[in-house]
């Protein structure tokens, strides 16, 4: 016995050491928030999201974590560096409130913290020099209320009583004088046949008092995000109107309007209703002192910023003759619009340039291929990338064309063609344009990063890699750095495109790259934050995951209390204390059922459920099977066990074989009686029903996990006249078993069965422990009900796991 | 040794699964163990298929009663597996044809039996032989009435019905109070049972799943 125990302990010890050695380089989680970086201090702030929330301040020059701030368990953390402080916003209480923390960038000391109740995940954050404003939606008995909070940046003191209004916050628009306009969307309650209606409200809030200066209601909903320029707020609304025709039929029209409201006094300066089919493409763009809207139908409309006649707000209107492919891009009084026109079945793409002052079309440049958007407008060059497709299906090839266009006359300054397809948006820094392409090279796809000089259009260099570039490019004075999908960080010389180093990070990067003092810092999807130097050598690797998830402390304590209760009674049972166990009818009937089968000369059918051996109900079922197999061996009655899982079949064969051996009847054991049918739910049911109908077993046992098949099995068994005993912890299937079987083990009785049948003192002790655990839980439930009745809600937090 | 090694593996695996639940640095180990289980289950499937073939071929060779069904099963097994191995399982293949035109309708047929069995089981369960059975019958009648449109129509025709909506009685009172309380009590008991069995397995007190009953 001692040798057995020693072998057991030795095996556990060896395996534990092996596990610890393997776990040293642990697999870690994913989902880091992207890092915010202070170039001045060289401090990166990165959040570990979702499971064990914490935000870390990492000094890249010092190569260490300089602070850590705990956050609520959340799916996202908003991190923003503002001077010498960091603003952190996370969801709390399963998303029903926002946790706001403002911490010192250098020390991580929490300057102040607030909890803001909210009904929606979105938060509007708006800052000025000394105040942070938070706009949230709150749900009051199914009615949405918007609330705006203002906190002093350094002390966290509330500047004024939170501003309240009905509706959902759609935005907060800063105005020139430092106040802001709150954009609200309201929904009226549906009454009878009248459906709920939406409307808009613009509210100007005085930043010093938190009171509204003016409120302007507007019909409809927002079709664009409002913006303010020179004391005028511009936005587009849409409104659904039902019009009754002369024939009595109702038609639904969507009316879209451009609105201009004075931010000084809330006066509606102009309202322009777009023609029936005209739908604005994106938000109004501010060009040379006036808002310009381009419509999906190919019109560019420029509005007066402050029209003298509110009924004539249009400054100029131009028909482009083609559909825009993106919103307009404005620079130096010129507006650029990529367009597409159908020529028969062919699509013809062009770039149109307009003078924003007069609306005059300066030039139109026909494009080869499909434009890769957005366009890039540099100081004296418009850069246009296009994709040229040749062939179809598997033989399809792509070419990438880059053009530099003179913005004054639309003439091509330079061009370049390369094989491949653009993988990431073009990236411009100073005069360097970085292009990332995927191109076919034989049977392989290679990924190429090229650098162009936009003054001459010359390709300076190209670097080729076999893996996808999946991070934003980080460009400094000497190098361009990026991460690849196969887990490498590559640094390429900016002058010649030669590889400076290739560092194996072993997993994909989960954040952008930050750099300070010639060192790069980034987090990987394996959970580590790594700092490497300009030679690509690791300076520091930091696993930022905690060793214990404090949010699960209540679960651990609960398990410990229950385990202590169980262990206490097991201990006393070992000491020989007599314990009473109530009779369980279903288990007492096992002898009767097996005896009946023996008398009738029919087999016993045992079903272990649909789950695999990793389910605790299947394990409990296999324990009961052992006892029943011993009985059938003693009575020399055939035992048939059709299994739904092959692992369960192998285990059941061992269990039954051991039982027959223990009963002294190994010769009567038939391995073919414990056989596999199918993993499919209804295929299995069909197989078992077939056995029931053909072999007519006199006793059927259904023990384990069951789903919809429970009643089909039990009813078929009932129709064959068998005595039936079922047991499951699936609450949804219990009524079916109760209705169709003679005896049913309900929930915990299934798990108690093995102890009950074995009469083993230790196991009986565990049953007593279960009862004590139930008594503890009942006491906690009663105390919880009482405390909550007296509004002591803190009690809920003791059991919170999120 | 036949007991000690499996018990050591069980105890260790159980402990690791508990530890990784609380230790974020090691949490992905639970996924790794699940992958191991999938691999083992994949190999065990060969055992399952072997068992299926042996049992059915044995019955055919003995010409046991109903051996024709076993022939159909063997043909079905070989045809499905063979077509999948040779042609693949994509759309338009023989495997796909068998799946769509044999397997799916047969599965649906088995599932549809449930509707009839619910009726026959309900008929037996609702026999008002005692006070409890009578209460069950009345409650079931009210719930069924409330779940069909005609029930609500009939209820609304009653003079006092406007002040007490039927759905309130069913959803909030019967289902929300009695049913939920009963279900939660079962779940609570089952959860403690699960903890108890797990602890017994970890401590090596419960060994009957290894065979032999103790």
- H/E/C letters for each residue in A720-776? CCCEEEEEECCCCCHHHHHHHCCEEEECHHHHHHHHHHHCCHHHHHHHHHHHHHHHH
Res B213: pLDDT: 45
Banded pLDDT at A26 (limits 50, 70, 90): very low
Residues from chain A that touch B5, judged by Cβ atoms under 8 A, are 7, 11
Banded pLDDT at A192 (limits 50, 70, 90): low
For A197-209, how does the pLDDT look when each residue is reduced to its tens digit (9 = 90+)?
788 899 999 999 9
pLDDT of residue A724 exceeding 90, the answer is yes
> For the stretch B20-38, what's the b/e string if a residue is b when 16 or more beta carbons lie within 10 angstroms of its beta carbon?
bbbbbbbbbbeeeeeeebe
The answer to whether A390 faces chain B, any CB pair under 8 Å, is no
| Region A583-759: CATH code | 3.40.50
Residues A660-676, mean pLDDT to the nearest whole number: 92
Cβ atoms of A228 and A202 within 8 Å: the answer is: no
Banded pLDDT at A674 (limits 50, 70, 90): very high
Q: Which residue of B has its CA nearest to A649?
A: B48
Banded pLDDT at A29 (limits 50, 70, 90): very low
φ/ψ region of A391 (left if φ > 0, alpha if ψ in -120 to 50, else beta) reads left
- Helix/strand/coil (H/E/C) assignment for every residue in A538-591: EEEEEECCCCCCHHHHHHHHHHHHHHHHHHHHHHHHHCCCCCCCCCCHHHHHHH
pLDDT of residue A30 exceeding 60, the answer is no
pLDDT of residue A4 exceeding 60, the answer is no
Res B166: pLDDT: 76
Query: What average pLDDT does the structure give for chain A?
Result: 86
Subunit contact A562:B195, Cβ cutoff 8 A:
yes
The answer to whether A627 faces chain B, any CB pair under 8 Å, is yes
Banded pLDDT at A27 (limits 50, 70, 90): very low
Distance CA A262, CA A248 (A): 41
A5 to chain B, closest Cα gap in Å: 8
Res A675: pLDDT: 94
Residues A243-263, mean pLDDT to the nearest whole number: 84
Residues B120-136, mean pLDDT to the nearest whole number: 85
The H or E element that residue A657 is part of is helix A646-662
pLDDT of residue A676 exceeding 90, the answer is yes
Between positions 635 and 674 of A, the ones with CB within 8 A of B are 643, 645-647, 649-651, 654-659, 661-662, 672
Res A194: pLDDT: 66
Q: Which residue of A has its CA nearest to B59?
A: A672
Cβ atoms of A458 and A471 within 8 Å: the answer is: no
Distance CA A388, CA A419 (A): 9
Task: Give how far Cα B80 sits from Cα of A526, B47, B110, Å.
Answer: 42, 18, 20
Cβ atoms of A44 and A61 within 8 Å: the answer is: no
pLDDT of residue A341 exceeding 60, the answer is yes
Residues A242-252, mean pLDDT to the nearest whole number: 78
pLDDT of residue A561 exceeding 80, the answer is yes
Which range, A232-241, A638-647, B147-156, is most confident?
A638-647
First-last CA distance in chain A? 46
User: Percent of chain A having pLDDT more than 70?
Assistant: 93
Distance CA B100, CA A491 (A): 53
Cβ atoms of A164 and A211 within 8 Å: the answer is: no
Task: Give how far Cα A401 sits from Cα of A377, A406, A527, Å.
Answer: 16, 16, 40
- Return the number of CB contacts < 8 Å for A and B: 254
Subunit contact B186:A612, Cβ cutoff 8 A:
no
B151 to chain A, closest Cα gap in Å: 23
Of A165-179, A188-202, A691-705, A779-793, the range with the lowest mean pLDDT is A188-202
Subunit contact A654:B210, Cβ cutoff 8 A:
yes
pLDDT of residue A74 exceeding 70, the answer is no
Res A13: pLDDT: 58
For A588-621, how does the pLDDT look when each residue is reduced to its tens digit (9 = 90+)?
999 999 999 999 999 999 999 999 988 999 999 9
Subunit contact B25:A547, Cβ cutoff 8 A:
yes
Q: Nearest Cβ partner of A747 from B190, B206, B210?
A: B190
Q: Is A76 helix (H, G, I), strand (E, B) or coil?
A: coil
A700 to chain B, closest Cα gap in Å: 17
Burial environment of residue B55 by CB neighbours within 10 A (0 to 12, 13 to 18, 19 or more): buried
- Total H helices, total E strands in chain A: 11, 53
Q: Nearest Cβ partner of B22 from A556, A681, A774?
A: A556
Distance CA A648, CA A598 (A): 26
Q: Nearest Cβ partner of B211 from A28, A658, A774?
A: A658
Subunit contact A729:B190, Cβ cutoff 8 A:
yes
Between positions 532 and 561 of A, the ones with CB within 8 A of B are 543, 545-549, 552, 555-556, 559
Res A714: pLDDT: 96
User: Percent of chain A having pLDDT more than 90?
Assistant: 39
Res A740: pLDDT: 93
Query: What average pLDDT does the structure give for chain B?
Result: 86
Preceding amide of A148 cis, omega within 30: no
Cβ atoms of A316 and A299 within 8 Å: the answer is: no
Subunit contact B199:A552, Cβ cutoff 8 A:
no
For A356-394, how does the pLDDT look when each residue is reduced to its tens digit (9 = 90+)?
888 899 999 888 888 887 888 887 888 988 898 888 776
pLDDT of residue A96 exceeding 60, the answer is yes
Query: Listing from the earlier edge strand, what are the strands of the sheet with A290-294?
Result: A285-287, A290-294, A299-303, A314-319
The answer to whether A571 faces chain B, any CB pair under 8 Å, is no
- What number of other Cβ atoms are within 10 A of residue A676's Cβ? 29
pLDDT of residue B96 exceeding 70, the answer is yes
Res A49: pLDDT: 63
Subunit contact A682:B45, Cβ cutoff 8 A:
no
- What number of other Cβ atoms are within 10 A of residue A94's Cβ? 12
Q: Where do the domains of chain B lie?
A: 1-87, 91-123, 126-208
Residues from chain B that touch A622, judged by Cβ atoms under 8 A, are 208-209
A686 to chain B, closest Cα gap in Å: 7
Banded pLDDT at B150 (limits 50, 70, 90): confident
Banded pLDDT at B214 (limits 50, 70, 90): very low
Res A28: pLDDT: 40
Q: Nearest Cβ partner of A682 from B107, B122, B186?
A: B107
Res A25: pLDDT: 41
A236 to chain B, closest Cα gap in Å: 44
Residues from chain B that touch A612, judged by Cβ atoms under 8 A, are 37, 41
pLDDT of residue A428 exceeding 60, the answer is yes
């Amino acid at each position: 016995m001692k040798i057995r125990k020693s072998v057991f302990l030795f095996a556990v010890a060896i395996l534990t050491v092996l596990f610890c050695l393997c776990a040293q380089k642990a697999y870690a989680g994913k989902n880091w928030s992207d890092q915010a970086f202070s170039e001045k201090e060289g401090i990166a702030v990165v959040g570990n999201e979702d499971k064990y929330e914490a935000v870390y301040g990492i000094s890249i020059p010092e190569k260490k974590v300089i602070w850590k701030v705990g956050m609520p368990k959340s799916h996202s953390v908003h991190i923003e560096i503002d001077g010498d402080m960091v603003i952190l916003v996370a969801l709390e209480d399963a998303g029903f409130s926002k946790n706001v923390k403002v911490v010192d960038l250098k020390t991580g000391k929490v300057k102040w913290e607030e909890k803001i109740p909210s009904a929606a995940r979105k938060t509007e954050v708006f800052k000025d020099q000394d105040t942070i404003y938070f706009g949230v939606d709150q749900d009051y008995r199914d009615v949405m209320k918007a609330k705006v909070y203002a906190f002093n940046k350094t002390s966290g003191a509330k500047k004024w009583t939170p501003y309240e209004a009905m509706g959902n916050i759609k935005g907060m628009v800063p105005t020139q004088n430092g106040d802001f306009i709150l954009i609200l969307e309201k929904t009226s309650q549906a009454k009878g046949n009248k459906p709920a209606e939406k409307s808009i409200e613009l509210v100007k809030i005085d930043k010093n008092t938190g009171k509204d200066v003016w409120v302007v209601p507007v019909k409809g909903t927002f079709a664009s995000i409002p913006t303010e320029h020179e004391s005028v707020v511009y936005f587009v609304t849409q409104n659904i109107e039902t019009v009754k025709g002369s024939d009595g039929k109702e038609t639904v029209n969507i009316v879209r309007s451009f609105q201009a409201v004075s931010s000084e006094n809330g006066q509606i300066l102009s309202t322009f209703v777009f023609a029936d089919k005209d739908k604005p493409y994106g938000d109004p763009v501010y060009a040379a002192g006036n808002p310009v809207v381009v419509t999906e139908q190919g019109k560019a409309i420029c509005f007066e910023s402050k029209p003298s006649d509110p009924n004539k707000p249009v400054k100029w209107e131009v028909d482009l003759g083609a559909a825009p492919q993106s919103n307009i891009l404005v620079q130096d009084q010129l507006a650029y619009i990529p367009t597409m026109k159908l020529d028969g079945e062919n699509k013809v793409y062009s770039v149109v340039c307009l003078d924003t002052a007069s609306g005059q079309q300066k030039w139109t440049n026909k494009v080869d291929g499909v434009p890769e958007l957005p366009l890039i407008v540099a100081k004296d060059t418009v850069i246009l990338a296009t994709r040229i497709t040749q062939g179809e299906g598997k033989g399809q090839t792509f070419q990438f064309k880059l053009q530099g266009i003179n913005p004054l006359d639309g003439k091509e300054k330079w061009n370049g063609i390369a094989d491949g397809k653009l993988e990431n948006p073009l990236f411009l820094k100073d005069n360097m344009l970085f292009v990332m392409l995927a191109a076919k090279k034989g049977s392989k796809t290679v990924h190429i990063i090229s650098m162009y000089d936009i003054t001459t259009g010359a390709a300076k260099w190209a670097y080729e890699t076999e893996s996808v570039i999946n991070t934003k490019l980080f460009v400094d004075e000497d190098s361009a750095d990026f991460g690849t999908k196969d887990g490498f960080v590559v640094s390429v010389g900016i002058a010649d495109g030669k590889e400076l180093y290739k560092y194996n990070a072993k997993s994909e990067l989960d954040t952008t790259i930050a750099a300070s003092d010639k060192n790069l810092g980034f987090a990987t999807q394996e959970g580590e934050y790594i700092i490497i130097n300009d030679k690509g050598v690791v300076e520091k690797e930091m696993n930022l995951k905690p060793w214990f998830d404090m949010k699960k402390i209540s679960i651990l304590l609960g398990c410990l209390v229950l385990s202590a209760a169980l262990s206490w009674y097991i201990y006393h049972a070992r000491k020989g204390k007599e314990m009473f166990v109530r009779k369980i009818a279903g288990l007492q009937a096992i002898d009767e059922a097996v005896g009946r089968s023996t008398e009738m000369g029919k087999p016993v059918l045992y079903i272990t459920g649909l789950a695999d051996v990793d389910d605790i109900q299947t394990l409990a079922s296999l324990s009961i099977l052992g006892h029943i197999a011993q009985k059938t061996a003693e009575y020399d009655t055939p035992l048939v066990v059709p299994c739904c899982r092959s692992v369960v079949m192998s285990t059941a064969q061992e269990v039954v074989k051991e039982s027959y051996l223990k009963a002294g009847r190994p010769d009567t054991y038939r391995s073919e009686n414990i056989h596999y049918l199918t993993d499919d739910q209804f295929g299995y049911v069909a197989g078992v029903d077939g056995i029931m109908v053909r072999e007519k077993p006199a006793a059927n046992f259904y023990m384990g996990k069951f789903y919809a098949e429970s009643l089909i099995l039990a009813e078929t068994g009932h129709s064959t006249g068998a005595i039936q005993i079922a047991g499951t912890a699936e609450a949804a299937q219990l009524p079916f078993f109760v209705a169709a079987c003679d005896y049913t083990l309900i929930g915990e009785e299934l798990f108690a069965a093995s102890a009950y049948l074995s009469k083993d003192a230790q196991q009986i002790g565990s049953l007593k422990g279960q009862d004590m655990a139930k008594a503890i839980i009942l006491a906690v439930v009663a105390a919880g009900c009482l405390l909550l009745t007296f509004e002591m809600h803190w009690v809920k937090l003791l059991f919170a796991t999120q | 040794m036949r007991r000690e090694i499996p018990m050591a593996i069980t105890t260790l695996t159980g402990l690791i699964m508990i530890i990784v639940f609380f230790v974020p640095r090691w949490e992905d180990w639970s996924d790794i163990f699940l992958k191991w289980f999938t691999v083992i289950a994949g190999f065990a499937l060969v055992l399952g298929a072997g068992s299926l073939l042996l049992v059915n071929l044995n019955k055919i060779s003995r010409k046991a009663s109903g051996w024709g069904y076993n022939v159909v099963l063997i043909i079905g097994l070989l045809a499905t597996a063979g077509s999948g191995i040779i042609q693949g399982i994509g759309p338009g293949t023989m495997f796909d044809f068998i799946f769509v035109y044999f397997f799916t309708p047969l599965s649906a047929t088995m599932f549809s039996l449930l509707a009839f069995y619910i009726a026959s089981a309900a008929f037996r369960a609702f026999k008002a032989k005692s006070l409890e059975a009578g209460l069950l019958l009345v409650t079931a009648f009210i719930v069924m009435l409330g779940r069909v449109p005609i029930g609500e129509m009939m209820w609304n025709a009653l003079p006092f019905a406007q002040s007490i909506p039927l759905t309130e009685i069913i959803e909030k009172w019967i289902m929300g109070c009695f049913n939920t309380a009963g279900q939660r009590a079962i779940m609570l008991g089952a959860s403690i049972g699960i903890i108890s069995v797990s602890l017994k397995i970890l401590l090596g007190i419960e060994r009957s799943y290894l065979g032999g009953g103790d």
